[in-house]
Amino acid sequence: MKDIYIGLDLCKKNIQLSFFREDKKEPESIYQLHNSETYQLPNVMFYAPTEKKWYVGNNVSAVRFQKEGTIVEDVLANIDSANHVVIDGASYTYEVLLLIMLKTHIEDFLSRSQEYLLKGITITLEKYHPIVYKTLGQLRKELHLSRDSFHVMSHENAFYQYVMRQDDKLRTNSVSMFEYGTEGMDYYRIDKRYQGKTQIYSISHENMREDMSYKMLFEDVEWLDKHFAELARTRMKETYISTVYLTGPGFNDQWIEEATKVLCEGRRVFMGQNIYTKGACYHARFGAYEEGKDCIFLSAGSIPFDIGVSVGEVDGRNRFCPIAIGGKEWYNMNGTVTLFLDDTNRVEMIYKDKISKDVIKEVIEIHGLPKRPPKTTKLSLSVELYDEKMGAIIIRDMGFGSIYPTTNKIYRKDFSIGS
């Protein structure tokens, strides 16, 4: 059996899928049927009632005109819809359809070889959505993967993971990326600085969609080339940039002649449509680049705080026990620890800034617990974030077996992140 790791980029109109085999040094991407230049697999589904079977992506075009059935499009675009889709007498929500689509894509890929053993998946999203995130949690269960083998991340994080797995020479200075999608152009830049010995990588984002709309691609491309060249020249003057990546369906060799000259002045330039999915694939195979290193990644939606609790004393000092480790997207900031109280009803929470190393302490008093001997009050402490600024500590009384039954009381203390 060969261990396989998958990186999946889930977008509104399509997905891209890359895989990393244990016997290979680099991830490979799946391309469209009969078109090895395109990695975007359309988000379209087809149900064939005679076979009781779903077809997805490339396979739909091969069967939709040969078999009787029902085609379903815009699954992700309709994820908020309360409408149900009735197919062959069964009623489906778009949430369920999304789960079927993703699972079918993955199972179709795995079925290509009986030697494949799925070991891990990382999925990257254009934008966080609570229903999509919930559906991906169900997908993990359907694929029988552990929480440590299944991850969800932002496009920004996937780009960072991709960049950091390339040759060091490509990131001696800042690294930038222009993404030209159907909604227009976006610009990203990864900068590095040091805080003591700690390397801090931060990614910034600029919306350029008014300056570079997608419809311009179908007008005067010669003017578009010169226009983009000027926009690129301005960004290249902002700081030293080692490497520029171009991604998105709007980029092709047919129109960026002048812009390429500007971008290549003292820099390496790469064009590719599978940066996000390969970044996710690197993460699935090797874990987060920053793990185990004195290195922090910061994006608009990431949390630069470790959140934990003060427990016991070691050499006369209280020990910090982390509940949720910072440096990742807020929706991935979660965790649970178990705590046994001494003769007290207080818990000291610790918020530790990963960059400045500043520590904020907060004492939470838990009222209404029955009087029990020391070390017989068992508490479960969890962290739950609502967004990148607000969250809560959830404390549950677990009791102490049959000797001191739980009260089933749950305490919630809200907190804010940063200033």
Q: What are the pLDDT digits (tens) for 36-90?
A: 455 778 899 999 999 999 999 888 887 888 888 999 999 999 999 999 999 999 9
Provide the pLDDT confidence category of residue 31 given band limits of 50, 70 and 90. Answer: low
pTM for the full model?
Answer: 0.91
pLDDT over threshold 90, residue 112: no
Provide the pLDDT confidence category of residue 116 given band limits of 50, 70 and 90. Answer: confident
Distance of CA 28 to the CA centre of its chain: 19
Share of the chain above pLDDT 70, in %: 97
- Integer CA distances (angstroms), 148 to 100, 119, 321, 409, in order: 22, 10, 20, 29
Lowest average pLDDT, out of 132-136, 245-249, 310-314, 360-364, goes to: 310-314
Q: What is the mean pLDDT of residues 319-344?
A: 91
Neighbouring CB atoms inside 10 A of 59's CB total: 18
Q: What is the mean pLDDT of residues 133-143?
A: 97
Three-state DSSP state, 58 = helix
Q: What are the pLDDT digits (tens) for 209-240?
A: 999 999 999 999 999 999 999 999 999 999 99
Q: What is the mean pLDDT of residues 273-285?
A: 96
The residues with which 28 forms a beta bridge, in sequence order, are 19
Q: Given this model, what pLDDT does residue 186 score? A: 97
The answer to whether the Cα torsion of 321, 327, 330, 334 is positive or negative is: negative
Lowest average pLDDT, out of 45-49, 316-320, 323-327, goes to: 316-320
pLDDT over threshold 80, residue 272: yes
